[in-house]
Amino acid sequence: MSILLLGDILIDKYFNGVSNELCPEVPVPVVKVNNVTSSLGGIGNVVRSVIGFFNEVHFLSSFCIEDEEILTKSFNKVTTTKSTNGGCATNNSSSLKYKNFIQENRQLAVLNRVMVGAHCLSRYDYPEEKGPMSRENEDKMLSYIRDYLLEDLTIVILSDYSRGALTKRFCRKLIPMLKEAGIVVLVDPIEDDWTKFEGATMIKPNREEAGYVFGIPIIDAESGQLFAESALHKYQIDLILNTLDKEGMALYHLSSYHGEDEKRSPLIDSDVIVNGNDKSIYSDSNEERVSDSQNGIAVSNNTRDVYTIQEPCHSDCKPIDVIGCGDAIIAAIAVFIKETKDWNRQLHQMMKILSLVGRKAVETDGCYILNPTDWAEFRPRNINSTKKSIVFTNGCFDLLHCGHIRLLNFCKGIGDHLILAVNSDESVRLNKGPERPINSLNHRIKTLKELNLADEIIIFDEKTPLELIRRIKPDFLVKGSDYTVEQIIGQEYAKEVVLFDSTLECSSSDIIQKVLDSYGKHEDRKSS
């Protein structure tokens, strides 16, 4: 398998020393430099991380001839170092292939950091011409990719540091070509114009970058969800991974995304709920979300069907250095995709691995480079097991609504075999009272089967499905986020408890109450 890396590459130079005094002329520390080191930076960090995991690693650039020579020497040093220090022990056949399209007015940026221990006291950059890649070289590079690389590529990473390597014209021609060939496109952005990345498989902004794109800060789960709803649809992106510094990271995807081209019909027609004017029984649960959106996003099952996988930061994490953390994360995503069968059905596992990679990166002094030894510790041994993972959820499903559809789609996306446990009529009465259910068990089961989402439907008469969960011992037990893990019945018998974000959903009870209230008002008007 081969991977192509495109984007802005830099030279990171470190002046390492000690400081015990202030300068007599101005109140700044005097640093006595002990040694000077340099390494590839920007997308160069990603190059260094993926070597050893892919049979071929391709990198293309557009620089002057002098910088081509510098990069050639640096790449030779990287491959030699990784081979001799054991970093590539699992795959010594990895080959780095570099090609430069000469452009004399483009020069490498050199970022100089003055370091005392793990602290960066200052940074100064050599002036460089940051002119964009020429149209001539854009066309040459596109032709080279199409004619010589496309057939063997599995993944392409675009790393944008806004230094001219990834022009809008180039990206808008490249991404459709890659997607048509079935190649995964991963983007690490810095600019707020995502139109050039339209159609990418995944984009990985940090909190600040996401806020620039959305126009308001990403300060909580609600603003993150609204941002994802807008961006996934507007830019036709499959997945967004939003890194949230001390709060961990959040992965967003549409309900229809299971690594297939399957598109499910919306429960509510998009014309029903637009601009907050909905008069249906769903209006209360949606109106606030419409008003919160500065872009006036139409809110319907079709446009708000966004799922979130939240992975919190490790509570005992002790950050030392964040330089290159984002590069390590996107490299890890590429490696996960390459090594994991049906990777897009293992997104929870991916998030757990990325959390470990992120922790390792910020706890490492200097720029962390992913290596096979660490990867073996991050990655579960049974991730490609042929044994099917079981997802279990339960409910009454009395009056089917959009929240039910979202829950079942969510469950379907995190495992292989979905078991849906449904309360019998007697069980519903035990939980909801003698007036329930509204629809009989037979009606509810027929409706659920029509959705064709559950692999297995089991009926239970007890008040809770505890005994079922004890016997099945599912890999994933899914419940709404209005519960805590400790409150969830049967959580001790599941390998993992997954909370589905249900805080913005309506419920059957709410719908029934609204109908009763409306009926009461109608009767009052008749009697008057």
Written out in words, the top-level CATH class of the domain with range 390-514 is alpha beta
| 389-428: burial string, b at 16+ Cβ within 10 Å, e else | bbbbbbbbbbbbbbbbbbbbbbbbbbbbebbbbbbbbebb
Which strand ranges, in their side-by-side order, compose the sheet holding 456-460? 456-460, 417-423, 390-395, 476-480, 496-500
Which of 416, 409, 408 has its CA nearest to residue 389?
Answer: 416
Instruction: Examine the pLDDT at 416 and tell me if it is beyond 50.
Output: yes
In this prediction, residue 264 carries a pLDDT of: 32
Rounded average pLDDT over 41-68 = 94
Residue 192 — very low, low, confident or very high, per pLDDT cuts 50/70/90? confident
- Exposed, middle or buried: residue 143 (CB in 10 Å: 0-12, 13-18, 19+)? exposed
**Domain-wise residue ranges, the chain:** 2-19+33-81+93-258+304-378, 390-514
Superfamily of domain 2-19+33-81+93-258+304-378: Ribokinase (3.40.1190.20)
* pLDDT tens-place string over residues 121-169: 999 998 666 689 999 999 999 999 999 999 999 999 999 999 999 999 9
Instruction: Examine the pLDDT at 254 and tell me if it is beyond 90.
Output: no
Which of 107, 47, 106, 43 has its CA nearest to residue 75?
Answer: 47
Instruction: To the nearest 10°, report the CA torsion of 286, 292, 293, 299.
Output: 0
- Higher per-residue pLDDT: 431 or 282: 431
d(CA 101, CA 131): 14
Helix axes 43-50, 65-84, angle to 10 degrees: 30
- Higher per-residue pLDDT: 363 or 156: 156
